[in-house]
Structure 1
Amino acid sequence: MINQLFLSLGGNLGNTREIFEGAYPLIEKKIGKISVYSSIYQTEAWGPIPQADFLNQVILVSTTLPPQACLKEMLAIEKEFCRERKERWGPRTLDLDILYYSDVTIAEEDLTVPHPRIADRKFILTPLAEIAPFYVDPTSGKSMVELLDSCTDSSQVNRSV
């Protein structure tokens, strides 16, 4: 069975565009075919640690892997790009997150789907609304456009050139 997997990519260490370009073939080889790419957005860093702005993107991947296998492969891809998990919300070369896995809901210790903070993060909702404006969040019943319209995040999210 083919599932639709929305993944976010983010990073603010090194040449992030180059890192994204290097990650795409690995995602296609290990997880599934990328069918849609959002624009890349420059966004203010979240959290208590002062750091450089991030580049963020959302992609849609068709996969036959179960969610836990997707997570395992994503962590391996992050590691290939020297991702170190030192501190929460700290700077990173590559951050991959499962946003949605078809309409599946998962609540496990190491994996929560849909991603629990989508509705609070404009840097996720903006690219999601770009590529899937009418996709409905299975927990809230709202489309990506509706979630973005009601998002209280005031951080700057600008399409990167």
Structure 2
Amino acid sequence: MGTWKIAVLALGANLGDRQKTIETAIEQLAAQKKIRVLERSPLVESVALTESGEDKSLPSYLNGVIKIATQLRPKKLLEVITRIENLHGRIRLHRWGSRTLDIDIITYEDVFKSSKHLTIPHPQTH
């Protein structure tokens, strides 16, 4: 059995029933054998961001963060996340587009990784 690693995931949505989508996604993550949800933040509403900044004409986002323990390596965790996003109708037309669900790996233990599909810590982490 693999070692449990700590990761932080950010979840956000600005289309559909945002709260239900995020809650269901957290349940789907927790249902994975190699993922345990340890903590979660309250959900917070924010103005939609585009490449040029805030855009109040777009539906606002609901965002939250969860802390998990996982036995999955970062690439496998990303595969699980992508599958859950797709189950919720995620369509990737452009980077700053509206979405039914977005899940990002913010941190994964002390891993620093940069590839075409995955950068850890997340590039928007401050």
With normalisation by structure 2, the TM-score equals 0.90
Match of 1:104 in 2: 111
Q: 2:18 aligns with which of 11, 16, 29?
A: 16
Structure 2 distance, partners of 1:22, 1:63, is 18
Partner residue in 1 for 2:46: 43
For residue 7 of structure 2, what is the amino acid of its counterpart?
A: L
- Tell me the distance in 2 between the aligned counterparts of 1:20 and 1:109: 26
| Deviation, structure 1 residue 8 | 0.3
Q: Match of 1:88, SS? A: coil
**Equivalent-residue separation in structure 2 for 1:109 and 1:88 (angstroms):** 14
- Give how far 1:88 is off: 1.4
How many residues align? The count is 119
**1:105-124 Cα deviation digits (max 9, x unpaired):** 111111000001111xxxxx
**How do 1:41-120 residues align onto structure 2 when only pairs under 5 Å count?**
41-47=44-50, 48=52, 50-119=57-126
Query: Once the two structures are aligned, what percentage of the paired residues are identical?
Result: 33
Which structure 1 residue ranges, 5 or more long, are not aligned? Answer: 120-161
Q: RMSD of aligned C-alpha atoms?
A: 1.2
Aligned partner of residue 10 in structure 2, secondary structure: strand
Greater helix share, 1 or 2?
Answer: 1
Give deviations 1:38-61, integer Å, cap 9, x for gaps: 010101111146411100000001
TM-fit CA distance, 1:29 = 2.2
Which is bigger in relative contact order (C-alpha 8 A, separation at least 6)?
Answer: 2
Specify the SS of the correspondent of 1:6: strand
Looking at structure 2, the residues matched to 40 and 21 of structure 1 have their Cα atoms a distance apart, in angstroms, of 10
Q: Which structure 2 segments of 5+ residues have no match?
A: none
| Structure number with higher strand proportion | 2
Amino acid at match of 1:60: K
Distance 2:13 2:39 in 1: 19
TM-score normalised by the chain length of structure 1: 0.71
Distance in 2, Cα, partners of 1:40 & 1:22: 13
